[in-house]
Structure 1
Amino acid sequence: MLMCGHPLILLLLLFIIINLLNLSFVMTSSPSQNDTRARVQLPGDTEDYNESEDITTQPSSSSTTQSKGPKLQCFYDMCVEQQEPCLKLSFTTGCLCPGLSGSNIPPSAPYNLKFSQEDSKGVVVHWCAPTSVVTHYVIWVQGKDKQMERNIEVEEQKRTAVLGNVAAGVHVCVEAVNTAGRSGKESQSCDTFEPHHPDSGLALKLGIIGGVVGLIMVLVLVLLLLRHKTWQKTTARTEAERRADEVL
């Protein structure tokens, strides 16, 4: 009679029974779900894979390489001297060095020869290294008369050589050397020294300054002429008005 007289109590009991059944179902089914997650088969595994094996193993070398992405070129300039060797950079960072021909092949010729003039050293020649194995460089200096010739030897990491006080028209060649031979005196590794005269730059600057000053003076004269003409017109108009007043 109590339950029949109180339908709310009956509904409450029914709700509690349903929740208890759901809770027991979840508790019995959760271990099987966890086991299913723990036994996920890795890509590439065979059918004999042990399902109880832990999946926290290290990834294969191929997947590790793919995750790193493509390698970048090493930050190495063939025209800058005294750098850290590119092979050392590649070993420590994994970057890619420029392709070099082997030591059993004579090196290619250096390129991009340039000259600079320094007060304390005189003339300095600069070049870029070839994509070859090089043990050292030989710089040939030959005068205009083809009789005076000397050579300078520098180490592989150098990209400059001090020539000293040399005359205009001197022919300079840079050769790369390794155990297989020399690069030879190629057109890209040879050039003729022509001094840069600082007086020419000074004369150019003076010419520019003179031109600017002359232009300013012309503009000032034009403004003065325009002002003078305006003053003349104003004076003539004033004089005409004065005479008209006198006539009246």
Structure 2
Amino acid sequence: MMSLCRNLAVLLLFLIASPLPHSHLFTHATSTTAPATRPRIIFLTGFGSEGDDDDDDDDDDDDYEKPTVLTQVVKSVQNTLVHQAPKLCHYDFCLENQEPCGQISAKTGCLCPGVSGGDQPPHSPRIQELVPITRGGDRGKIEIRWCAPSSVVTGYKVLIEGGEVLEFEDVSRRGLVRSMEVGTNVCVEAVNSAGHSIPSDFSCMRYEHPESSDHKLLAGIIGGGVALLLVLIIAAVILWKHQMRKKAKRDSANGLGNPSYSTEGTL
């Protein structure tokens, strides 16, 4: 009896100590139970690197300070740009014998107006006026005045209808030409190493002598006076006819008012 109890106790201890039954049962339970899936939750604690949980307080303080620093930097850049804003050069395209705008810019740091390069044909200059000279040694000649284009220019040419061509320097803005007939077409061309400008409506002008304009004005005044005189004559004739009609009606009404009146005598 004692040996039987001893054998049972040894068998029970063997079963308890042996890992095989438990491993088999655990494997079976795992294979028969459906795995539970849960959504992964990601927590964003800041813009710092991972593993800096101990420095959360320091990062929060830095986040509060960053906008202030950024604002100061932006204001500093804006102030710098305002103080360093470039200015346009004082350069007049219609003024003669000026210092080139490039030299003015090199001295003062100003900005020249947009100018096409010397590797491109220049834009057309603009004629201001054609003025006849009435006094001095150049009396009878005509002065041409123009404005430079926004291009690199090495010289100018004045082309007069009929084939005459006159050349002027790049700093010139006016030139004297011979006397010409009213209605003659005059053009100014800008020239550089790449070619010359194309004639346009504002780079060409027809010569109109001031005397011809005065003659036109005088002719207009005379024509207007004649027209006014004709209108007055017509109005006077119409008024005279109207008065004559009124008088005829009045005389006719006076004759019909006395029936006993007769040119042959008394009835």
Deviations 1:135-190 (A, max 9, x none): x524366894x6x76x544353x322223x2555697654444xxxx35344328x
User: Any stretches of 5+ residues in structure 1 without a counterpart?
Assistant: 1-38, 46-54
Is 1:234 aligned to residue 252 of structure 2?
no
Q: In structure 2, which of residues 175, 178, 195 is the aligned counterpart of residue 184 of structure 1?
A: 195
Match 2:68 to one of 34, 38, 42: 42
Alignment of 1:5-20 (within 5 A): none
Residue 137 (structure 1) aligns with: 155
Structure 1 residue 223, shift from structure 2 partner = 1.9
**C-alpha displacement at 1:132, in angstroms?**
3.0
Contact persistence 1:138–1:174 (CA under 8 A): yes
Q: How far apart are the structure 1 equivalents of 2:252 and 2:94? A: 81
Contact 1:173 1:185 in 2 (8 A): no
SS at match of 1:207: helix
The match for 2:14 is none
Aligned residue in 1 for 2:11 = none
Which of 193, 196, 200 does residue 208 from structure 2 map onto? Answer: 196
Segments ≥4 residues shifted beyond 4 Å: 65-68, 70-77, 82-92, 140-144, 166-173, 191-195
Matched residues in 1 for 2:185 and 2:82: separation?
Answer: 56
CA RMSD for the aligned pairs? 4.7
Query: What are the residue-to-residue correspondences of 1:1-248 with 2, within 5 Å?
Result: 42-44=68-70, 59-60=75-76, 62-64=77-79, 77-81=92-96, 86=101, 88=104, 96-102=111-117, 105=119, 108-113=122-127, 116-119=130-133, 120=135, 121=138, 122-134=141-153, 136-139=154-157, 144=162, 151-156=166-171, 158-163=172-177, 165-167=178-180, 174-177=189-192, 182-188=193-199, 195-247=207-259
* SS at 2:222 equivalent: helix
User: Do 1:112 and 1:188's aligned partners in 2 also have CA atoms closer than 8 Å?
Assistant: no
Query: 3-state SS of the aligned residue for 1:187?
Result: coil
In 1: Cα distance, 2:149 partner to 2:161 partner = 26
Give me the TM-score of the superposition, normalised by structure 1.
0.52
Q: What does residue 11 of structure 1 align with?
A: none
CA–CA distance in structure 1, aligned partners of residues 233 and 180 of structure 2: 50
Give 1:218 deviation, angstroms.
2.3
State the TM-score, normalizing by the size of structure 2: 0.49
Q: Does the Cα contact within 8 Å between 2:129 and 2:146 map onto a contact in 1?
A: no
Letter in 2 for 1:154: E
Q: Percent identity?
A: 21
2-structure distance, mates of 1:234, 1:166:
65
Could you tell me whether the CA contact under 8 Å between 1:114 and 1:127 is conserved in 2? yes
The structural deviation recorded for 1:116 is 0.9
Residue 176 of structure 2 aligns to a residue whose secondary structure is: strand
Aligned residues: 186
Ranges in structure 2 where 5+ consecutive residues have no aligned partner: 1-64, 261-267
Aligned in 2, Cα 1:166/1:209: closer, same or farther, shift over 3 Å? closer
Larger Rg: 2
